[in-house]
Amino acid sequence: MRILVTGGAGFLGSHLCERLLGEGHEVICLDNFFTGRKINVAHLLSNPMFELMRHDVIDPFKVEVDQIYNLACPASPVHYQHNAIKTIKTSVMGAINCLGLAKRVGARIFQASTSEVYGDPEIHPQPETYKGSVNPIGPRACYDEGKRCAETLFFDYHRSNNVDIRVVRIFNTYGPRMLADDGRVVSNFVVQALKGEDITIYGDGSQTRSFCYVDDLIEGFVRLMNTEDITGPVNIGNPGEFTMLELAEKVLAQVGGPSKLTYRPLPQDDPLQRQPDITIAKDRLGWQPTVDLDAGLAKTIEYFRERV
């Protein structure tokens, strides 16, 4: 197949491009390089089945493809709040452009949605039926509401135009090729520990997240995309849930060094807890994570050790 990956030069996108090329597909990677980097896909450039396009998903584009994975959107709170209006445009206009293309060429289309659609959840763990608790006017809303609107667009194109959609809700994912200065917690803690700097805990560190290793996530993506008679949304994430203090302890246990914990204010609307209910992924995709946090952190630390 010929497959378009928007946001293909980013953290998740570059792993996805690699996986799809490995399966013998032709891959078009479209990216505006806001948080993605050419270096993430540099090793793919000599492959004749790979094509890199600098383009912004806000502007319409035409390519003949069989499948579309729409990943274009900054994912780290620091980056998506940097230009909030651009983030909303990327999610909403990007979805409209990708869905329009999918409709025209008859491609199956996959949306990288997020656990952020659940906001600061009152139900724990979060099943796909939970409608969420999002502050529509807070600093995270540009991302959360943008992604919620993109989901709406996907389901309206499906209902109105019979577009063949797959929607995944991704829970916090980490691994090699995260940006060192991305601001997300795993890369922050690992880079701080490797540099011997203090580990920045926001709030009292009792808030939780569930961390999925990138290879597990990409396996879930490919299974969802290639399963028939399913639209999603499907949660993909690792149900192993940790406080930020526990995460810091794990990173320090592996890296060692002189780093101490330092406390900073909790950002506004920072969700207090998050854990995926993955019953649907298990039942319909036969998917569950295989890499636990210690093993995934070891691979991530190895990646950053060579670069810090």
Contact between 169 and ligand UDP (CB under 6 A)? no
Among 102, 185, 194, 280, binds ligand UDP (CB under 6 A): 185
Distance CA 91, CA 150 (A): 6
Among 77, 94, 119, 237, binds ligand UDP (CB under 6 A): 77
Please list the residues that pair with 31 across neighbouring strands. Answer: 54
111 binds, among ligand UDP, ligand NAD, none (CB under 5 to 8 A by kind): none
Scanning 9-17, 125-133, 281-289, 296-304 for contacts with ligand NAD by CB under 6 A, the matching segment is 9-17
Binding mask 188-227 for ligand UDP (x = CB under 6 A): x-----------xxx----x-x------------------
Using left for φ > 0, alpha for ψ between -120 and 50, and beta otherwise, residue 170 falls in beta
User: Which residues in the 76-105 window bind ligand NAD by CB under 6 A?
Assistant: 90, 94
Is there a catalytic annotation at residue 213? no
User: Which residues in the 230-289 window bind ligand UDP by CB under 6 A?
Assistant: 244, 266-267, 270
Minimum separation from the CB atom of position 270 to ligand UDP (A): 5
- Indicate the residue among 74 and 232 with the shorter CB distance to ligand NAD: 74
Count the residues of the shown chain that bind ligand UDP, applying the rule CB under 6 A.
15
The one-letter amino acid code at 2 reads R
Contact between 208 and ligand NAD (CB under 6 A)? no
Contact between 35 and ligand NAD (CB under 6 A)? yes
Structure tokens at 65: 């493809």
Residue with tokens 């319909």: 284
Could you tell me where the DSSP H helices lie in 135-243? 141-161, 185-195, 214-225
Report the first-to-last Cα separation within the chain, whole angstroms: 38
Of the residues 143, 157, 174, 213, only one is catalytic, namely 143
DSSP assignment letter at 120: S
Contact between 173 and ligand NAD (CB under 6 A)? yes
> Strand 2-6's sheet: what is its strand order?
50-54, 26-31, 2-6, 67-70, 108-114, 165-170, 234-236
Residues 6+ apart with CB under 8 A from 116: 134, 140, 143, 144, 147, 271
Contact between 125 and 239 under an 8 Å Cβ cutoff? The reply is: yes
Contact between 23 and 47 under an 8 Å Cβ cutoff? The reply is: no
Q: Which residues are catalytic?
A: 143
Q: In the complex, which residues of this chain contact ligand UDP (CB under 6 A)?
A: 76-77, 172, 184-185, 188, 200-202, 207, 209, 244, 266-267, 270
Q: In the complex, which residues of this chain contact ligand NAD (CB under 6 A)?
A: 6-7, 9-13, 31-36, 56-58, 71-75, 90, 94, 112, 114, 170, 172-173
